[in-house]
């Protein structure tokens, strides 16, 4: 009989797909989720959550709830977190409490639990700017200055002012956090790895890049960029793109992410590592917006490139996935074209409340967009 796995945040976008992957491969799954209204509205159990998953509604910061959730559990996938770079810059206490304190409470409860493996969801945001080069020399770009951004000079530059060329970012790149959310994710990752080393438990941190697919929270203006663009297009409104739209990202399908997590649970070689989970390809945000609009038949709605920047944003970051290939035998299976086609098939059946302009106004009012 296979192990029983606790997935914290398992009723969310990535968590629900991971739950489905684990159940399909013979594991038993218990989900612990706070059912945050910003993500789930007023739903008590999402229709997309596999009916074979046991759902416990509760807060990761509630010690008694976490202790009960761990009863009879063999492995834990810790995905519960507040998500959103922009929102983290003003809901600082809430993000830090749920992301860092919640992880600390989980780790304290794990000390006396019979859990042999812990997987924690980290993020590409911890890198800040991705790795770059000048000629053949690799460099770690400094954070773009406020004066540079105000001048609309978007590309990372060396300390001598030379423009840098982005390259795939490996796990060896030094962290350079530029948002509260990124700091939270780095703290979660390090806390878990330190705990694992101290207590002799197998811990792996999964650094997710830009995850997309069906079942994202379309009415949450701080969710993934493709879901935000999809919600705008469903409402006949143009996707809003910051800076000039030429920033590059790595978009990885949620089913590939779920499979990578399962492989990490099953791979002894993954213990003690932080591992990139991406597609290994990069695309500009502008190209992604145009691709989605075409696929949705909304060629009449052109992306709105506003030439403004948000505090905490970075310019380029896309994954080097060599370590995932080596340690997990991971290879992305969903092409971007197929993933977009599946996303659109789901999107056209959805109703989304477009909250993007209100969210942008909230950031602007606080001086976080300029």
Q: What confidence tens digit (pLDDT) does each residue in 278-296 have?
A: 999 999 999 999 999 999 9
What's the pLDDT score for residue 185? 96
Strand partners, 248: 284
Instruction: Give the C-alpha separation, 335 to 333, whole Å.
Output: 6
Strand partners, 241: 305
What's the pLDDT score for residue 368? 64
Structural tokens at position 318: 């896309």
Q: Residues in the chain with pLDDT < 70?
A: 1, 40-43, 219-223, 352, 354-360, 362-364, 366-370
- Residue identified by tokens 């905490």 is 312
What's the pLDDT score for residue 25? 97
Q: Cα angle vertex 284, ends 355, 145, to 5°?
A: 80
Q: Is the pTM of this model over 0.85?
A: yes
What's the pLDDT score for residue 219? 66
Instruction: Give the C-alpha separation, 193 to 2, whole Å.
Output: 25
- Residue identified by tokens 């920047």 is 309
Structural tokens at position 230: 């999809």
312 φ/ψ sector (left φ>0, alpha ψ -120 to 50, else beta) = left
CA-closest candidate to residue 99, choices 85, 113, 112: 85
Strand partners, 202: 117
Residues 6+ apart with CB under 8 A from 249: 209, 210, 225, 282, 283, 285, 288, 316, 317, 318
What's the pLDDT score for residue 367? 65
Residue 177 CB coordination number (10 Å): 19
Residue 114 CB coordination number (10 Å): 10
Residues 6+ apart with CB under 8 A from 104: 191
What's the pLDDT score for residue 362? 64
Active site residue: 127, 181, 212, 309, which one?
Answer: 181
Residues 6+ apart with CB under 8 A from 280: 168, 250, 318, 319, 320, 321, 332
Q: Is 222 a catalytic residue?
A: no
Structural domains of the chain ordered from first start = 4-365 (3.40.50.720)
């Amino acid at each position: 009989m296979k192990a029983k796995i606790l997935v914290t945040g398992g009723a969310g976008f990535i968590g629900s797909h991971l739950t489905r992957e684990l159940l399909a491969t013979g594991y038993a799954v218990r989900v612990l989720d706070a059912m945050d209204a910003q993500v789930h509205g007023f739903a008590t159990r999402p229709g997309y959550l596999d009916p074979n998953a046991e759902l416990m509604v509760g807060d990761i910061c509630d010690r008694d709830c976490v202790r009960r959730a761990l009863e009879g559990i063999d492995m834990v996938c810790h995905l519960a977190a507040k998500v959103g770079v922009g929102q983290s810059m003003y809901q600082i206490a809430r993000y830090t409490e749920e992301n860092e304190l919640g992880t600390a409470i989980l780790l304290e409860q794990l000390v006396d639990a019979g859990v042999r493996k812990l997987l924690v969801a980290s993020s590409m945001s911890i890198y800040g700017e991705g790795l770059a080069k000048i000629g053949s020399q690799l460099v770690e770009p400094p954070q773009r200055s406020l004066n540079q951004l105000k001048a609309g000079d978007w590309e990372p530059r060396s300390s001598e002012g030379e423009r840098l060329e982005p390259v795939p970012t490996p796990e060896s790149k030094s962290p350079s956090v530029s948002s509260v959310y990124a700091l939270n994710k780095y703290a979660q990752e390090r806390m878990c790895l330190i705990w694992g080393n101290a207590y002799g438990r197998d811990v792996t941190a999964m650094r997710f890049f830009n995850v997309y697919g069906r079942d994202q929270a379309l009415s949450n203006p701080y969710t993934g960029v493709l879901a935000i663009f999809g919600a705008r297009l469903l409402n006949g409104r143009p996707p809003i793109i910051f800076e000039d739209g030429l920033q590059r990202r790595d978009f990885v399908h949620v089913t590939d992410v779920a499979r990578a997590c399962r492989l990490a649970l099953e791979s002894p070689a993954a213990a003690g590592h932080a591992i990139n989970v991406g597609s290994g390809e990069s695309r500009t945000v502008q190209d992604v917006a145009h691709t989605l609009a075409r696929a949705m038949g909304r060629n009449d709605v052109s992306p709105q490139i506003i030439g403004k920047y948000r505090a905490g944003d970075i310019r380029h970051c896309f994954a080097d996935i060599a370590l995932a290939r080596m340690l997990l035998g991971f290879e992305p299976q969903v092409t971007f074209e197929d993933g977009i086609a599946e996303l659109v098939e789901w999107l056209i059946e959805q109703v989304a409340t477009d909250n993007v302009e209100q969210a942008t106004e909230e950031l602007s009012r606080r001086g976080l967009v300029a």
